[in-house]
Structure 1
Amino acid sequence: MSQDPQWGRRGKDGPPDLDEIVRQFSNKLKQFFGGRPSRPSEPSGQGPTGKADMRAMAGGATVVLGVLGLLWAASGFYVVDAREEAVVLRFGRYVETTGSGLHWRMPWPVEQHEIVKLSEVRSVEVGFRGDAKTRLEDESLMLTQDQNIIEMQLEVQYDVKSAYDFVFNNATTDSDARDLVKQAAETAIREVVGRNKVDFVLNEGRGQVAADTTRLIQTLLDDYGSGIRVSRININDVQPPEAVQAAFADAVKAGQDKVKQTNEGIAYANDVIPKAKGHAARLLQEAEGYKQSVISRAEGEASRFKQVAAEYSKAPQVTRDRMYLDAMQQIMTNSTKVLVDQKANGGLLYLPLDKLIQMSSQSAPAVESVEPRVSTEVPVTIVPRTPPLRGDREGR
């Protein structure tokens, strides 16, 4: 039976020769480490040549093991980015947390590390997926304090603040962490919306709702020890359900009209009330001035009367004459008539009418205002000589 040197078979149909296979494998190792391959008739490992080959194989195996050991030790080096942290585990137990830079740990399977991206902003959507039109009613429908139903869509942005808590107290994948944040967000937003009325949530209270929801989500995540920090909440859309949007629109319009009319009333009041107060203050000041004027005039008249009374007690006739003359002077000053004593002078009487009219217009403006058209004819009345007063007659 012939032997095939390439395949180690006896003939073409016989079973493989195991000795020949071992010899070929040994020859390949010898050639790899610089030894001389043995011939088929030479027993493996016998004679001086076989011993040298065995020593060469032992040395080569040592080199291979050394190289493999270096490669195994080099596999413990790892690099951490500036925005990352690495958690080192030894047989699954926490050892340390390393920052940015080049680090070394014991190679696998003794130790391993997990790199966590701290500054990477992750987001989770509540009430929609991708587009605001893709609504999820089981997430977006919420009940307010006044028993109204609204639809709210929000996006929660978060990052990692503790790599240790994120690895050991959280789920193992980012999808699990996203589910945790999503559940906390749903719980928080429903609680915040349930504490407020529908008008507050729909109109002026969006910022307050977002701030309260952020604080509540962060509290829940801290209680879980998740190592997650909520950075921002964006409320994309808040509106009533589609079936009652028309009624809500009418209610909102009515509220806006109420606010508009209230503002108009306040503006009108702010315009009228100051004017009324100013007018009242002016009337009070005028009344106070009139009061002071009347009091001063009365006090002056009383003082003058006292003075006249004192003088009258000293010289009654002279005082009466003086009072009579003053009264007549006051009366005649406002008169446009000229009185002439016919017995005083029997000659020709010259009357300068122009001068008299000018003097009358200057001394009597009240009469001129009542009678703006003054005739050039001045009536002249000739009266008899006034008899002397009784006091004068007695004095003579």
Structure 2
Amino acid sequence: MFNLNDPRWGKDDGTNGQQSNNNQDPNRRPGSGGPPDLDELWRDFNRKLNGLFGKKRGSGNGGSTPPQRPDLYPSAKGMGVGVIILVVIGVLGWLSSGFFIVQEGQQAAVTRFGKLAYITDAGFHWRLPYPFEADEIVNVSQVRSVEVGRGGEVKATGLPESAMLTEDENIVDVRFAVQYRIDNVVDYLYNNRSPDDAVSQAAETAVREVVGNKTLDYVLYEGREQVASDVQVLTQKILDRYKTGIIITTVTLQNVQPPEQVQAAFDDAIKAGQDRERLKNEAQAYANNVIPRAQGTASRLIQDAEAYKAQVVAQAQGDTSRFDQILQQYEKAPQVTRERMYLQTMQDILSSVSKVMVDSRNNNNLLYMPLDKLLQQSAGKAPTSATAAPAAPTTVPTLPAASVGTAPATADSSASAPDGTAPSSSRTSRDTLRERNFQ
């Protein structure tokens, strides 16, 4: 029989030699240059499949194998074994689809027929393949961020979404960012449809409530950090109420400013506040410079006063002690004590006098003139004597010629002149002067 794919279709059959050769070699591909025969390919496949599964041809006499017509289809046994192998390979591939890897910082929720079965941590795991079980991996260590106030304008009011009303009925534009992470995988996956959108909505609700309870100046200037802290606490409370499994880590106020219509006036107010702070800093620097110096001066004056006090007290105590000693000596010998005190006083007074007056009537006495000391005193006082008052003339005591132990003559700073009116007795006059001084 001829096949439509036979290259000899429609050619002359007179070539008996070629036909006989083809009958002798049924496995020979007809036509060397034509397309392959599909039947020939199918027969080759069947022969290889039968040889693979151990199908042997029957042996005739003498062990020779007579030529047989190749099978057009594989045997039932070979097909069964092939199907089993394919099924085994498919089952192994299906079971291997249950292996999954959870990276560090991630958790996986495994569901069985759509219901949560268990939670796994990082590592290599296996579950029942689909459709029995499925897994969903969530990154719990990643810090996620959402920005609030970046939307467009609200058609009803014509103001941006970031515009908020303060307690003193002013409008302020607040834009901020919220950073959060997943704390509970089960709550995050199964308690809310869109937990990320819930974070944005809860943060916007919280900031409107916080700003609505504060004044404009508080939100713009001194209370920005406190506002961010209050927004974080209130947002966390809202998310916990809905059991979203999310923890708010940080709330950052990115932009807080008044509306554009009054921006220029607020800029002037901000500049004035900056000038105020600058002047305060300069005043504080001046105070830091002046106060320590004033404190040092006050401390020095206090120390000087204490030293002067100690000096005066010590001097007074010394004078008191000396007076007590003199008093004791005076009580023992009043006359001798008065004499000694008088002589000491006159010595202190006359030691600084540069002028000497001599009584020429007493020619019997020997007069001692310390000219060398007088010249030294005059030379030392010469620079300052021009403006000083002239010293009062005095008389020096004279030593009597007969007796060396006699008391010196009367001397007075008022300069008694030799006018012939001498006292009758020098001792009486000296005693009278001493008593007058002690009185």
TM-score if structure 2 supplies the norm length?
0.60
Q: How has the CA–CA distance of structure 1 residues 251 and 234 changed in structure 2, closer, same or farther, with 3 Å as cutoff?
A: same
Q: How has the CA–CA distance of structure 1 residues 305 and 113 changed in structure 2, closer, same or farther, with 3 Å as cutoff?
A: same
* Aligned counterparts of 1:258 and 1:186: Cα–Cα separation in 2: 34
Do 1:218 and 1:229's aligned partners in 2 also have CA atoms closer than 8 Å? yes
Kindly state the Cα deviation for residue 95 of structure 1 after the two structures are TM-superposed.
0.6
* Partner amino acid, structure 1, of 2:356: V
Do 2:186 and 2:245's aligned partners in 1 also have CA atoms closer than 8 Å? yes
* Aligned counterparts of 1:290 and 1:296: Cα–Cα separation in 2: 10
Q: Deviations over 1:73-98 (max 9, x none)?
A: 33322232233222111121011112
| Structural mapping, 1:67-216, within 5 Å | 67-128=89-150, 138-145=160-167, 147-171=169-193, 176-216=194-234
Deviates more, 1:141-150 or 1:73-82: 141-150
Identity across matched positions, percent: 37
Do 2:151 and 2:160's aligned partners in 1 also have CA atoms closer than 8 Å? no
Do 1:127 and 1:137's aligned partners in 2 also have CA atoms closer than 8 Å? no
Q: How has the CA–CA distance of structure 1 residues 84 and 198 changed in structure 2, closer, same or farther, with 3 Å as cutoff?
A: same
Q: Deviations over 1:309-343 (max 9, x none)?
A: 525xx444x45544443333233223221122323
* Aligned counterparts of 1:308 and 1:209: Cα–Cα separation in 2: 90
> Aligned match of 1:306 in 310, 315, 327?
327
Instruction: Please name the residue that 1:342 is paired with.
Output: 360
Q: Deviations over 1:207-262 (max 9, x none)?
A: 44434433433333233222223333333222222222233233333334444444
TM-score if structure 1 supplies the norm length?
0.66
* Aligned counterparts of 1:86 and 1:321: Cα–Cα separation in 2: 121
> Aligned match of 2:428 in 382, 390, 394?
390
* Aligned counterparts of 2:343 and 2:47: Cα–Cα separation in 1: 161
* Partner amino acid, structure 1, of 2:134: Q
* Aligned counterparts of 2:247 and 2:47: Cα–Cα separation in 1: 58
Q: How has the CA–CA distance of structure 1 residues 67 and 351 changed in structure 2, closer, same or farther, with 3 Å as cutoff?
A: closer
Kindly state the Cα deviation for residue 54 of structure 1 after the two structures are TM-superposed.
5.8
Q: Deviations over 1:349-376 (max 9, x none)?
A: 99675541314566xx7x974647999x
Is 1:278 the counterpart of 2:296? The answer is no
Q: How has the CA–CA distance of structure 1 residues 103 and 51 changed in structure 2, closer, same or farther, with 3 Å as cutoff?
A: same
Is 1:331 the counterpart of 2:352? The answer is no
* Aligned counterparts of 1:84 and 1:203: Cα–Cα separation in 2: 41
Is 1:230 the counterpart of 2:248? The answer is yes
Do 1:139 and 1:186's aligned partners in 2 also have CA atoms closer than 8 Å? no
- What runs of 5+ residues in structure 2 fail to find an aligned partner? 6-41, 51-70, 153-157, 396-414, 433-439
Q: How has the CA–CA distance of structure 1 residues 361 and 108 changed in structure 2, closer, same or farther, with 3 Å as cutoff?
A: same
Do 1:342 and 1:383's aligned partners in 2 also have CA atoms closer than 8 Å? no
Kindly state the Cα deviation for residue 388 of structure 1 after the two structures are TM-superposed.
0.2
Deviates more, 1:213-222 or 1:291-300: 291-300
Q: How has the CA–CA distance of structure 1 residues 298 and 241 changed in structure 2, closer, same or farther, with 3 Å as cutoff?
A: farther
Secondary structure of the corresponding residue to residue 389 of structure 1: helix
Instruction: Please name the residue that 1:10 is paired with.
Output: none
> Aligned match of 2:313 in 285, 292, 316?
292
* Aligned counterparts of 1:350 and 1:299: Cα–Cα separation in 2: 37
Kindly state the Cα deviation for residue 125 of structure 1 after the two structures are TM-superposed.
0.9
Secondary structure of the corresponding residue to residue 225 of structure 1: coil
* Aligned counterparts of 2:430 and 2:135: Cα–Cα separation in 1: 140
Q: How has the CA–CA distance of structure 1 residues 383 and 228 changed in structure 2, closer, same or farther, with 3 Å as cutoff?
A: same
Instruction: Please name the residue that 2:11 is paired with.
Output: none
* Partner amino acid, structure 2, of 1:251: A
* Aligned counterparts of 2:142 and 2:48: Cα–Cα separation in 1: 51
* Pairwise CA RMSD: 4.7
* Aligned counterparts of 1:165 and 1:393: Cα–Cα separation in 2: 123
